[in-house]
Amino acid sequence: MEHRVRIDEELNEQPLEVILRPTADEKGAWTGAPGPRMGPRLFGGQAVAQALMAASLEEDAERLAHSLHCYFLKPGMAEEPVEYRVTHLTAGRSFAARRVEAWQGQLCIFSMITSFHRPEPGFRHADESPYPLDVEGARAALDEWRERGGDGGEHPLAQRLQRRPIEIVPLDPSAIFGGAGHEPRAAWWMRLRRPARADPAMQRALLSYASDMLFMRNAMLPHAIQPGSHEVQATSLDHALWFHETPDFDRWHLFVSDSPWAGSARGLSRGHFFAEDGRMIATAQQENLMRPQGEALERLAAQDQPAPPSPA
């Protein structure tokens, strides 16, 4: 146990941009190092980010990723390295497509197709953030909520987030840390804790890593359940990102997300990243498993029972 704690401390001391950059091996593949632990399983955002970097390192520097679509096929182990195998699918004057598979041992755990585009001029429009772009106001509101008796500082999730390389400030702390039912939407500010001054490809990887943090919670909010609880088996099933502009994750980004649907033990979440100046930077979408179990399954079964007939 002491050895594992020491490993975690060393990983948390490494800059995230170093962890997310895989290294080439002698077989023509890429090896991704273990990253900050979020449990015994490999964090999905780390797989997305390392796979994107593996594809980017084989791509013309003038073309940048504009979208990615991926599936989480099997659980990965957090303490084990990951081998990323890149296949060149197409390459034209403007666009190129790459497939990336992630392997641990003999098991393919993840698959992605990502598309790259050479920037060019075009028509523009974008939605605006539905919330004020005031991160300092959000930080002050979080402090006030804690002073009023909110348990955000003592909440296990808050303590885990304090050890993560991405800093998070929720607009509504009760949606993130509360246990009561809540409408299926939330928003939070995010940025890298230690500035990376990274290039455009790595900035996309950093946003990809962050996009998987807390995302599935939207679909669970109306049902008063949380990932990791004994009432639900939860994991990401797939993940998609569209990059509209190059992010700068040294600076704050507001992630505005919601869940339009849940059913059949699955939930759908979607969201947009906004820069501090209001520009829409990226769009994300994810479906996750949220299989009820234990008392939650019993409650659902009781709700599905037909009502008794009315007395004559």
**Residues with catalytic roles:** 212, 236, 286
Closest CA relative to residue 204, chosen from 22, 65, 309, 11: 65
Q: Can you tell me whether residue 269 is helix, strand or coil?
A: strand
Bridge partners (DSSP) listed for residue 189: 169, 254
Secondary structure tally for the chain: helices H, strands E:
9, 12
**Residues forming beta bridges with residue 291, ordered by sequence position:** 233
d(CA 289, CA 12): 28
Assigned token pair, 237: 């099933």
Structure tokens, 219: 């679909």
Alpha-carbon dihedral sign for residues 149, 166, 242, 46 = negative
CA-closest candidate to residue 164, choices 193, 135, 195, 186: 193
Structure-block tokens of residue 203: 């900035």
The angle that helices 200-211 and 44-57 make with each other, rounded to 10 degrees, is: 160
CA nearest to 206, candidates 218, 190, 188: 190
